[in-house]
């Protein structure tokens, strides 16, 4: 089976249980969203997959082979994380050349073209880069290593809106040209919602949701319009969340909409960020 599989993986840091018997797989050639609040276990999960941390319990398989035992399995994974893997005194150009040496399929010419596109000065030392350009440097490497599995942990940290948009376009272009498994962990849910095919939501080290994004969002819908009309409509229905601005209101509900709708109301699709927020709120309420 071509996939990353986590089988009963647990990890504890002193008093904190970061991962609690996690069972999840990331299948071949799909884009996944790994979503969760701060401290949910996302970074720990990715570091264990990339063999930068060891699980206390359970195992990780890549294409059926255990990560902990085989360099061959690990060579199929690239993790973009918070840490810079290159020396701070190394110049960007030399670091890109080093990446081409380490990764046989690395596209150096394309990486240099991306550096020019983003305005990254390849003569600069890595340690002198701003937060945004340090992220761009790491993104350029990630977009060009061409491993079967690409893990992106908060990939757009410090990037402005224009650079984030450019990155998302380049990521989709890469995926179209050389399909691979991409796992994106981010707090900018609204920005990646249209990219991810499958959503995994984690909280307190436990998987709460693990299904295709389209299926996840099919559980509900939104209603918008004058506040009084929305209030009348949602009475007695299963409400996920609601927000008001001036005299207008939007409500997110589960189930199917009643038909016909009043003319004053507009029907819409549930969005991933709203679903995530209501799920987190419900978990907080249920767990006191």
11-67 per-position pLDDT tens digit: 999 999 999 999 999 999 999 999 999 999 999 999 999 999 999 999 999 999 888
Distance CA 172, CA 197 (A): 12
Distance CA 159, CA 167 (A): 9
Q: Is 103 exposed, middle or buried (0-12, 13-18, 19+ CB in 10 A)?
A: middle
Residues 6+ apart with CB under 8 A from 281: 241
* pLDDT confidence tier of residue 82, bands split at 50, 70 and 90: confident
In the three-class reduction of DSSP (H, G, I as helix; E, B as strand; rest coil), residue 181 is classed as strand
* pLDDT confidence tier of residue 258, bands split at 50, 70 and 90: confident
pLDDT at 70 over 80: no
Phi-psi region of 174 (alpha: psi -120 to 50; beta: other; left: phi over 0): alpha
Phi-psi region of 82 (alpha: psi -120 to 50; beta: other; left: phi over 0): alpha
Q: What is the pLDDT of residue 242?
A: 87
Residue with tokens 């948009």: 165
pLDDT at 111 over 90: yes
* pLDDT confidence tier of residue 288, bands split at 50, 70 and 90: low
- The kind and range of the H/E element at 168 are helix 161-177
Distance CA 195, CA 169 (A): 10
169-201 per-position pLDDT tens digit: 999 999 999 999 999 999 999 999 999 999 999
Residue with tokens 């995530």: 276
Distance CA 129, CA 88 (A): 9
* pLDDT confidence tier of residue 150, bands split at 50, 70 and 90: very high
Distance CA 14, CA 35 (A): 24
Distance CA 13, CA 217 (A): 34
Contact between 144 and 114 (Cβ < 8 Å): yes
Q: Write the DSSP string, 29-64.
A: T-EEEEE--TTSSHHHHHHHHTTSS--SEEEEEETT
**Token pair listed for 161:** 């809106």
CB atoms within 10 A of CB 174: 19
The whole-model pTM stands at 0.92
CA 41 vs CA 9, 46, 60, 159, 169: distances in Å: 11, 9, 15, 23, 28
pLDDT at 136 over 90: yes
Tell me the β-bridge partners of 24.
Answer: 6
DSSP E strand stretches across the chain? 3-13, 16-27, 31-35, 57-62, 65-66, 77-80, 149-153, 181-185, 198-203, 206-212, 220-226, 239-245, 248-254, 266-269
Q: What is the mean pLDDT of the chain?
A: 93
């Amino acid at each position: 089976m071509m996939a990353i599989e986590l089988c009963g993986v647990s990890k504890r840091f002193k008093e904190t249980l970061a991962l609690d018997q996690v069972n999840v797989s990331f299948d071949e050639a799909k884009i996944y969203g790994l979503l969760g609040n701060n401290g949910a276990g996302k970074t720990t999960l990715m570091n264990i997959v990339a063999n930068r941390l060891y699980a206390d319990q359970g195992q990780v398989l890549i294409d059926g082979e255990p990560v902990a035992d085989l360099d061959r399995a690990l060579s199929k994974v690239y993790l973009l994380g918070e840490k810079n893997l290159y020396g701070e005194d190394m110049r960007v150009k030399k670091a890109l050349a080093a990446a081409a040496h380490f990764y046989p399929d690395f596209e150096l010419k394309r990486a240099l073209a991306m550096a020019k596109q983003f305005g990254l000065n390849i003569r600069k030392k890595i340690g002198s880069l701003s937060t945004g350009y340090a992220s761009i440097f790491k993104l350029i490497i990630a977009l060009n290593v061409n491993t079967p599995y690409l893990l992106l942990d908060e990939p757009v940290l410090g990037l402005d809106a224009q650079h984030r948009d450019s990155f998302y376009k380049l990521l989709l272009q890469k995926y179209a040209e050389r399909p691979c498994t991409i796992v994106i962990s981010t707090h900018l849910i609204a920005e990646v919602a249209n990219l991810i095919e499958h959503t995994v939501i984690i909280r307190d080290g436990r998987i709460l949701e693990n299904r295709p994004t389209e299926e996840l969002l099919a559980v509900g819908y939104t209603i918008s319009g004058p506040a009084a009309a929305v209030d009348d409509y949602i009475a007695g229905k299963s409400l996920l969340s609601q927000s008001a601005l001036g005299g207008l209101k939007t409500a997110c509900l589960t189930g199917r909409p009643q038909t016909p709708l009043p003319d004053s109301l507009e029907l819409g699709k549930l969005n991933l960020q709203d679903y995530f927020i209501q799920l987190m709120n419900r978990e907080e309420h249920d767990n006191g």
